[in-house]
Amino acid sequence: MTQISVPFGRRCWAEVDLGQIVSNYRLYRENMPVKKDVMAVVKADAYGHGDVRVSLALQQAGCRRFAVSNVQEAVRIREAGVTGEILILGYTPVSEAGLLCRFGITQALLDEEYAQALAKAAPGPIACHYALDTGMRRIGLNADAPEAAARAVLDTPPPLQVTGLFTHLCAADTPDNDATRAFTGLQQQKAAKVLELLHRAGQTGLYLHELNSAAGLYEPEELSLFSRLGIILYGLKPDAGNKMPDGIRPALSWKCAVSMVKTILPGDTVGYGRTFRAERPMRVATLPVGYADGFRRALSGRGFVLIRGQKAPILGRVCMDQIMADVSFIEGAAPGDEAVLLGQSGAFTFTADDMALMLDTIGYEIVCGISARVPRVYFEPQEEGAHK
């Protein structure tokens, strides 16, 4: 995504370790008792990490299947050199059928009505994966009526060509307990039933993919041999309660410069609305990052940044483009210092998952929220084998 063509000095930036993403991909594959094929989910600009660079790094590491959320994302990575399968997981306006054909993009079929409309608009063959609704009630053929679902797949109108089936395991992200496992197991059984009916009808060429990151963590040897992996590739947890396999680590750090340091006096207030009032003389740093960069305003008066390996608490409200932080106890803090918003500084590590907990959300939303004006700086994977 945002590639710097002019070497601007650094205000606020994200560092993406492509080697860590490749390593996470390999660790996941190697930790599975049954060898899984991985479809890399690179939607939403690879969860804010940059879809083109992430896809090409994974392709280099052997990944042949990719998933995105819309046709713009699909065309972008195809044009950048992704040669394998690119599946659009959601809605594409049928007026874009020509693009699907021209770029060899695989489209999810949401239901029979959508399939009819897409077939009518298609100027030529389009590979499709039929979505099966096994309980999420989002998209797909209702797998509670397996015969009708199988029939719909068999009756897919040309020039659409169904090459796969998928379902989404919507309970897998919640704490791993008996009820979760039971619901997830039921979803898998429903999908397997449709696949079996298709086999019986002679349609044996389809593959089924269903494991997202969360399901893959605790459902290692079940029915599906294909995982559709997003968040774990980026080293974050599907849910705060998940235990991550050893060695899977976040690939993104988010940083900015310290722009100014000043002393304020007792009684001074800081920022909009004067929500923070100093009770002692304080050293205050100003940092060039704000909610327009994706640094959430809800961190006002609650969050912190890391400077010189120490926590600098945020004072007052997060502005659109700047924040202020207390550096009274950080010796030598000075303009030009690197401030870490996400990542490691000295002995401290603060991840998107940690920030998400403070904001009552999930790490996904934090990394997806780092806005386009924040340049991504890439670290290439090392030689083959260096990550083993």
Q: Which residue's CB is nearer to ligand PLP, number 140 or number 316?
A: 140
- Nearest distance in Å: CB 359, ligand PLP: 18
Spell out the residues 6+ positions from residue 144 whose beta carbon is closer than 8 angstroms to its own.
Answer: 190
The residues in 25-64 that bind ligand PLP, with binding defined as CB under 6 A, are 41, 43
Residue with the closest Cβ to ligand PLP? Answer: 230
Closest by Cα among 374, 380, 351 to 256: 374
Q: Which residue's CB is nearer to ligand PLP, number 192 or number 229?
A: 229
- Nearest distance in Å: CB 378, ligand PLP: 21
Closest by Cα among 370, 93, 71, 91 to 234: 370
Instruction: Tell me the window of 155-163, 210-218, 297-305, 336-344 that interacts with ligand PLP (CB under 6 A).
Output: 210-218
Residue entry with tokens 């797998």:
143
Q: Which residue's CB is nearer to ligand PLP, number 106 or number 212?
A: 212
C-alpha–C-alpha distance, residues 122 and 107, integer Å:
12
Instruction: Tell me the window of 122-130, 208-216, 266-274, 305-313 that interacts with ligand PLP (CB under 6 A).
Output: 208-216
**Annotated active-site positions, please?**
43, 272
Binding of residue 229 to ligand PLP (CB under 6 A) = yes
Binding of residue 129 to ligand PLP (CB under 6 A) = no
Q: Binding residue for ligand PLP (CB under 6 A) from 36, 168, 308, 376? A: 168
Binding of residue 87 to ligand PLP (CB under 6 A) = no
Would you say 223 and 234 are in contact if contact means Cβ atoms under 8 Å apart?
A: no
Q: What angle do CA 122, 125, 130 make, to 5 degrees?
A: 85
Would you say 193 and 159 are in contact if contact means Cβ atoms under 8 Å apart?
A: no
Binding of residue 231 to ligand PLP (CB under 6 A) = yes
Q: Binding residue for ligand PLP (CB under 6 A) from 53, 129, 190, 228? A: 228
- Nearest distance in Å: CB 342, ligand PLP: 18
Binding of residue 212 to ligand PLP (CB under 6 A) = yes
Q: Which residue's CB is nearer to ligand PLP, number 323 or number 362?
A: 362
- Nearest distance in Å: CB 352, ligand PLP: 13
C-alpha–C-alpha distance, residues 243 and 236, integer Å:
10
> For the stretch 146-161, what's the b/e string if a residue is b when 16 or more beta carbons lie within 10 angstroms of its beta carbon?
beebbebbeebeeebe
C-alpha–C-alpha distance, residues 348 and 307, integer Å:
10
- Residue 9 burial class via C-beta count within 10 angstroms: exposed 0-12, middle 13-18, buried 19 and up: exposed
- Which residues are near ligand PLP by CB under 6 A? 41, 43, 89, 168, 212-214, 228-231, 238
